[in-house]
Amino acid sequence: MPHLLNVWPSVSRQLASSPRVLLLFDYDGTLTPIVARPEMATLPEETRRSLSVLAEMDRFVVGVVSGRALDDLRDLVAIPGLVYAGNHGLEIKGGGIDFVHPEAASFEASLAEVSRLLEHELADVPGIQVDNKRLTLSVRLRRTG
């Protein structure tokens, strides 16, 4: 696959002539600055305004994708008219879509048990954070000191 910059003239012509364009943005580290802890990742107001303007244009379908749970992502961004994809796309809402991967929900009980076990086994490790997001599970090592 060629690097985007090597084929940009062709891509930009296609985008310019397309009647509809899907724009997907990652939340953490793309729409928000990279931060030490997830709860510190907030959407800058300038970025919020830009997303709102794009979402109001008929030509664009605007979406935000994240490893965060869908409800958390929607609460953080809180812009009407966007498509939100949480848990790395296992749950999607917006633009007429209301989707939860059909097999993902069957793992909720297992993930809860794994989360409890990890929290117990890693309790003595400084900086460890176990985050059960219902359909996915993250284990993070945060800086200490």
Catalytic positions are 26
Pick from 54, 133, 65: which is nearest to 94 by CA? 65
Instruction: State the Cα–Cα distance between residues 72 and 64, nearest whole angstrom.
Output: 12
* 70 contact partners, CB below 8 Å, separation of at least 6: 84, 85, 86, 87, 91, 92, 93
